[in-house]
Chain A
Amino acid sequence: MNKLFLSVLCLLAVFAAVAPCLADTVNGVLAEERIVNLPQDQGKWYVSVVGNATDPRYNEIVGWFDINASLKKLKNQVHFCLVTSDTAIYQARYAGNVKGLPTVRMQKADGTVVYEAAGKNLPMTAAGLNGALAGAVSTAQGIRPILPWRRDMERRCPGPCPNPQPNPLPQPDPEPQPIDDNGPPNVDPEPQADLPPWGVALICLAGVLVGVSSGYGRKLYAKLNSPVK
């Protein structure tokens, strides 16, 4: 009985040793277990912010991507490339094809430029840049912009929302974007201020008043200054 028990134990031990080897074998070679979640991000778009590191305007635009919530969200959905004009990568890959500095360029994964603005053509505010990028993404994807009356409805939809937290550790290079399998970005459309009904009435009233007063003024002017004959 003991011998039988011992042999069963031996058999179990042999199976226990062989089973994991079989499980880990892929195409005849022992698989590494470290590499489990490689980011399949070949479809990610690129946003390059190119400029002179000492230019306040460049630094302001770079800062928008940390301050403005929509741009910050976009930054984490794309390959975000900060390129300064004193680097070799600028000389090799940007100097010959940018129209001025600073430049903001958005590209599809295949390099197709969907948005590019440089120098004075850049939007003046973070919200303006976000709106321009959102418009470019919609145009590139053939998507109509969300109509104002639908915007709140879209926002009310529940869904997982990435909320990356800033890492307080000092880093010599800029903080890398999160690793994920994202494809094209989803840029928040910039909300446009909708005029309330009383505002419309106020504008109409102002228009009537201006019209009446200008008509009366013209009559008064004609009365006081008789034409030279």
Chain B
Amino acid sequence: MKRILFALVLLASVAGCEVNENLGASAPKKERPTVNVPAALRQSNWRGPQGQGSCVHASMISLFRWQYRLKTADHWQRTYGDGEYPEDLAAKFNQEGIRYAYVTNGDVRFLEWACRTRRGCGITVMGGAHMVALVHLDDKWAAILDNNNVEKFIWVPRETLIAEWKASYGWAVTPIYAPAAPLPQ
């Protein structure tokens, strides 16, 4: 009986052990989310001159700041506001000489590229009524920064986010400059 009890205790203690994968001393810890926009750089949504929300501009301003275009971000905030359409935003970017890329066809490769290169992008949600910043996309998870609540990142399963985006006209847009350097490893 004692032996059985001893074996059970031993089994229980072993079952609780967590086996950590040894990645080696030099394996860098990946920053999550990939586009880890600091709180001070996050732009909240605001009402434009016509009383509309400025979610597209707010998302772009957060991304401008992340990509070190601080003066561009300030200029954008002073100059633009209200709701936005893809073609109109593209025209504004062209007019201001901004380097950018966008899709309106729900091509997921664009989102993967934006997160892989650590730039992030604005994506439409809520049936196209709102834009948030996509700050992470891996094979399981996505994270967004919602300009209506910039306190925290919102994590959702990858497929859920992609389905939501595709059902919202599949518009994604981002400036193309150097992203903030990763935290030192």
Contacts and interface: CB of A to CB of B under 8 A. Distances in A.
Contacts of A179: 99, 176
Contacts of B75: 172
Contacts of B184: 97, 105, 107, 111, 113, 116
Contacts of B28: 110-112
A105 B182 CA distance: 11
Contacts of B68: 81-83, 89, 173-174
Contacts of B180: 81, 89, 93
Interface in A113-130: 113, 116
Contacts of A30: 105
Q: Which 6 A-B pairs have the closest CB atoms?
A: A92-B38, A111-B182, A88-B40, A79-B178, A172-B71, A46-B181
Nearest to B184: A113
A35 interface: yes
A158 interface: no
Nearest to A31: B105
16 contacts: A31-B107, A32-B102, A32-B107, A34-B101, A46-B178, A81-B68, A82-B68, A93-B181, A97-B183, A105-B184, A109-B182, A110-B185, A112-B28, A112-B185, A173-B72, A179-B176
A189 B38 CA distance: 36
A226 interface: no
A32 B39 contact: no
Contacts of B103: 32, 34-35
Interface residues of A, number: 42
Contacts of A105: 181, 184
A197 interface: no
Interface in A37-93: 38-42, 46, 48, 79-83, 87-89, 91-93
Interface stretch (B4-12, B15-23, B111-119): B111-119
A168 interface: no
A31 B103 CA distance: 8
B65 interface: yes
B contact residues, range = 35 or more
A7 interface: no
A172 B177 contact: no
Interface string A169-182: 10011101101000
A34 B110 CA distance: 12
Contacts of A31: 105, 107
B69 interface: yes
A88 B180 CA distance: 12
B106 interface: yes
B3 interface: no
B185 A113 contact: yes
B137 to A, nearest CB: 13
A65 to B, nearest CB: 13
A48 B107 contact: no
B30 interface: yes
A83 B68 CA distance: 8
B44 interface: no
A152 to B, nearest CB: 34
A26 interface: yes
Contact of A111 (B31, B41, B107): B31
